[in-house]
Amino acid sequence: MYITALTIGIALTAAALCQPAKPLPVPSAHIAQQVGLAGDKSTILPADVAAILERPELRSATIGLYAINLKTGSPIIKYNSNRACMPASNQKLLTAAAGLQLLGPDFTWKTDISQNGTTLHITFDGDPLLTRAQLTAAINAVKTSIKEPITRIAIDDSRIQGDTLGLAWQWDDIGLGFSAPVGAATIDKNVVVVTITPPATVLTPPRFEVADSILAIRANATIEDRNPANTTTPDVKKRLTITRNPLRPEVEISGTVTAGARPTTALVAVDNPTDAAFRIVNSILRESGLPVAANIQYARRPRQADDTLLTRITSKPLAETLPDFLKPSDNLYGELLLRTIGRIDASPATPASGIKRIQTWMTGSGIPSDGVQPADGSGLSMWNTTTAEATVALLKAMSETKAFRDALPVGGIDGTLKARFPAPEHRGKVIAKTGTLSVASCLSGYAVTTKGETIIFSILMNHFDRKAGSAAARRAQDDIVRTLLSL
């Protein structure tokens, strides 16, 4: 029987090479045995899943699927499960799992504020969730200990090393908030608020401001009078292009501003995290009422032996902040976590060091490494590859780790899955990580069936039809998962 099926599969493949492309027939049996690709010798493809893969927008895509029953380990879907695909933000699953296992759920980042004479020193640790508000509160809490006017701000940013941008990140993403530069001195996720205030009349110019003057401004905007026939207030942001120049610390603003419209804001990535930190701390000091020099000097140096520790900002434990990473799919968190993993045992806090440790952990945990090539911690890099089978093995290894599962988006409830699987019978039944790039869309996680069984699945889709876009890929993923939920 197997030989017959194999012969038919080869014949169909050969015929397809000689004839124009056309939709493949939907298998009549519930399970169709076909010849696999990329070394996968036995494809397990339910008929309804096969029909989804035959959609026109997926016909030329590279797709890897794998799903197993958690309790029995039995495969339910197996299609190109060993084919290397770009995981997009599914890469965060690996970073998060390795972080929990290698750093421990109680790991915390620590930001120290010290003083030496007229120098205020801050040792940044790469805390991905450190805010300006936390720094402000910490400095205000030790105001009485600072007796002399501050003339210099010194920063130690050596706890995170390597390039501020990831390997093979898309150049046209640089400057956007979701690809903010990586550095130990991370404040408010290394994005800055740009405020546009339209003038009252066309006779006066608009006002453009960047918080703390972190970036320069280059504006080329046209001012128009309000149309009396239009009773609604124009949306300023939709009529303006606000970007950060990828080559300079400069915000570029162009488009049209309507006189009399309400002010609006936008977020752009800072150019240099450490330089931004200097400016933010300078502003905090002046706002606090502390005596400061008119022109504060900046210095980058480690803490000196005679520096006096004033206070320490300690992050929440890793297990508690992991939802802030996985549910919204925070890229900067992933990059800082990767570098933090790298510095275990005083090793360099670089992406390469972090990746090496993660690969060693994978081997020790029995997670397949064939086809798995990490390039960053967030999934922004197009050089990341993984397989559906390796992803399922990772999810299985972490299935009993509550901190990991609780950090994942929940279908119909929160995170990047809030708007997906909203039906009452599906809501809360899918716990999974999404992933989206211009050429990749993925979904991997856990699904609880109508019988109460847990299925671990990974759906990796690359190079789908660009006109249909990732929305079509997401629809296909949701339909596949709904098939699993119905089992």
- Whether 219 and 121 map to the same domain: the answer is no
Do 358 and 401 fall within a single domain? yes
Number of folded domains that form the chain:
3
In a domain, 1, yes or no: no
Q: What percent of the chain has pLDDT over 90?
A: 81
The answer to whether residue 147 scores a pLDDT higher than 90 is no
Please report the pLDDT score of residue 238 as a whole number: 64
Taking the whole predicted model, whether its pTM rises above 0.85 is answered as yes
Residue 336 sits in the same domain as residue 458: yes
pLDDT number for residue 171: 85
Residue 7 lies in a domain: no
pLDDT average, residue stretch 203-207: 91
Whether 118 and 255 map to the same domain: the answer is no
Q: How confident is the model at residue 37, as a pLDDT? A: 42
| Average pLDDT of the segment spanning 284-289 | 95
Rounded distance between C-alpha atoms, residue 318 and residue 341, angstroms: 12
Instruction: Tell me if 366 is assigned to some domain.
Output: yes
Q: Which of 236, 254, 269 is the last residue of a domain?
A: 269
**300 located within any domain:** yes
Q: Which domain holds residue 397?
A: 21-104+322-485
Give residue 42's pLDDT band: very low, low, confident or very high (50, 70, 90). Answer: confident
Is 123 within the bounds of a domain? yes
DSSP string, 102-117: HH-TT---EEEEEEET
Nearest to 326 by CA among 420, 409, 202, 225: 409
pLDDT > 50? residue 256? yes
For the stretch 355-397, pLDDT in tens is: 999 999 999 999 999 999 999 999 999 999 999 999 999 999 9
- Which one of 198-212, 226-240, 323-337 scores highest in mean pLDDT? 323-337
Asked whether residue 332 falls in the same domain as residue 451, the answer is yes
Query: Tens digits of per-residue pLDDT, 154-172?
Result: 999 999 999 999 999 988 8
CA dihedral 46, 48, 50, 56 (to 10 degrees): -170
CATH of the domain at 123: 3.50.80.20
**Pairing state of beta strands 250-258 and 216-224?**
parallel
Mutual orientation of helices 388-397 and 91-103 as an angle, nearest 10°? 30
Q: What is the pLDDT of residues 88-103, one digit of tens each?
A: 999 999 999 999 999 9
Same domain membership, residue 94 and residue 33 = yes
Confidence (pLDDT) at 326: 98
- Residues 90, 117 within the same domain: no
Q: What is the CATH number of the domain that holds 345?
A: 3.40.710.10
For position 174, what pLDDT does the model report? Answer: 87
* 147, 282: one domain: yes
In angstroms, the CA 302 to CA 310 distance is 16
**Rounded Cα gap, residues 227 and 100, in angstroms:** 57
pLDDT at 22 over 50: no
427 inside domain: yes
By the 8 A CB rule, do 182 and 273 touch?
yes
Mean pLDDT, residues 226-248 taken together = 71
Task: Answer yes or no: is pLDDT of 450 > 80.
Answer: yes
pLDDT at residue 106, as a whole number: 98
Whether residue 395 sits in one domain with residue 293: no
Average confidence score pLDDT of the chain: 89
Whether pLDDT at 234 is above 80 = no
Report the alpha-carbon distance of residue 86 to residue 64 in Å, rounded: 10
Q: Which is it for the CA torsion 200, 201, 205, 208, positive or negative?
A: positive
Residue 211 lies in a domain: yes
The answer to whether residue 415 is domain-embedded is yes
Report how far residue 269's alpha carbon sits from residue 169's, in angstroms, rounded to the nearest whole number: 15
Does the structure show a pLDDT above 90 at 1?
no
C-alpha to C-alpha distance for 154 and 339, rounded to whole angstroms: 23
42 shares its domain with 158? no
pLDDT at 286: 95
Domain co-membership, 370 together with 415: yes
